[in-house]
Amino acid sequence: MRLLTKTTLNLLSISLFIFLFGVVAFYYSLRIQVNRNINQEMEKRKLSIISELESAHSANKPPVNQNEIVLISPLDQVKPRDSYSDTLIYNQAEKRYQIFRQKGFVQKIDNREYYIQIFKSLEETDNLIVRIVIIMTIMVFMLIIALLVVNRYSSRRVWSVFYDTVAKITRYDLNSHEEFSLEKSDVSEFDDLNRVLQAMTVRIKNDYLNLKEYTENASHEIQTPLAIISSKLELLLQSGEMNEKQYKALADAYEASIRLSRYNKTLILLAKIENKQFPESQTVSPEIIIEHQLENLDDLIRDKKIEIIKRIQTGVNIQMNPYLAEMLIVNLIKNAVRHNITNGKLIIEVNDRFLKIANTGSAGQLDTNLLFNRFYKSSSSPESLGLGLAIVQKICSLYGFTIHYSYEDEMHCMQINHKVNTDSL
């Protein structure tokens, strides 16, 4: 739940609770106050009635008033106490019960005790109370709504900085060359947060760049010592003064130095793709590259008697760096040939949407999660570097191509959708 929603809900529930109790309490206190006033009024009326009766010396004709009924009845044995009460009286004219307040008292007139009741209509005061309560309710409701709206609006404005920060951090990519800057806020907490975050990202980015630069430099610097090692070993080989065992050791060392240099070259390539150091792009034809690579791998293909099935749509072009296009296709075809079985099949399909390379192979379904990892190797070919698909994936992500691996009809299938490219570049 969003903080804003949560605070709003809290505020709403508390204010509704208070308001409900408030209205009930308000109603009753109003009621009590009104009753008290009426009682006082009736007390005055009692006095006036008494004086009236005494002056008139007759209890036969009580004064008449619309909102007031005075009943005088002779008292029997039982002597009721003075009291106040609410009672309903049927109104003949309006044909309904109306609420009245009644005051009863005993008065001695001409040595005879009478029980006198004064009834006073509560209709008007009741109406007033209800009206006041309704108006109060409406006002409080409006107040709550107004508060909620204002709170929501102002919170949203205040929190917008926070949401902006979250969104920016989510999108943040260490590899991107964009400046990471956060919005200024007039809330000091958010300002602090942004300042700290900004300082942190700058520090992380610097560390990352330093590390990257270091590894890249290291990779480059390794090339020269490697050149020295391999050249010295080659010279040593030419000296011709060694026995078979020494030659074998030398050969192994030489082989290892070459493998190291291949690793190194590939890692440099990966780093360069990550750094987007292949900016220039042009129209490349996958068909030409594929033909060229099949020719290059001719020995391997013929050795394994692989049947090549080409479904290449003519005139398909992809807009990308020519070197990367070559690396992409080389690695895919090389994998498809290398991991193929004798008398296997290799299907190459190219159209204006995707490039698909399918091959028969010994292993079953491969683990898609590991497939594109660096140094992932299937057990069948320990000699391979395990970097081919890592390169393929890096190139694909650079151009926004999607790559999809599947295993169908006992064939490993790599499909690269290159369509996105034409729209985005």
Residue ranges binding other proteins (CB under 8 A)? 220-221, 223-224, 226-232, 234-235, 237-238, 240, 244, 247-248, 250-251, 254-255, 257-259, 261-262, 265, 268, 272, 277, 293, 296-297, 299-300, 303, 322-323, 330, 334, 338, 383-385
Minimum CB–partner distance for residue 371 and other proteins (Å): 18
Minimum CB–partner distance for residue 234 and other proteins (Å): 5
Minimum CB–partner distance for residue 213 and other proteins (Å): 16
Nearer to other proteins, 244 or 409 (CB): 244
Nearer to other proteins, 244 or 408 (CB): 244
Nearer to other proteins, 113 or 234 (CB): 234
Minimum CB–partner distance for residue 368 and other proteins (Å): 24
Nearer to other proteins, 221 or 367 (CB): 221
Nearer to other proteins, 117 or 219 (CB): 219
Minimum CB–partner distance for residue 226 and other proteins (Å): 4
Nearer to other proteins, 111 or 243 (CB): 243
Minimum CB–partner distance for residue 349 and other proteins (Å): 22
Minimum CB–partner distance for residue 199 and other proteins (Å): 36
Nearer to other proteins, 131 or 248 (CB): 248
Convert the chain into a string of H (helix), E (strand) and C (coil): CCHHHHHHHHHHHHHHHHHHHHHHHHHHHHHHHHHHHHHHHHHHHHHHHHHHHHHHCCCCCCCCECCEEEEEEECCCCCCCCEEEEEEEEECCCCEEEEEEEEEEEEEECCEEEEEEEEEECHHHHHHHHHHHHHHHHHHHHHHHHHHHHHHHHHHHHHHHHHHHHHHHHHCCCCCCCCCCCCCCCCHHHHHHHHHHHHHHHHHHHHHHHHHHHHHHHHHHHHHHHHHHHHHHHHHHHCCCCCHHHHHHHHHHHHHHHHHHHHHHHHHHHHHHHCCCCCCCEEECHHHHHHHHHHHCHHHHHHCCCEEEEEECCCCCEEECHHHHHHHHHHHHHHHHHCCCCCCEEEEEECCCEEEEEEECCCCCCCHHHHCCCCCCCCCCCCCCCCHHHHHHHHHHHHCCEEEEEEECCEEEEEEECHHHHHHC
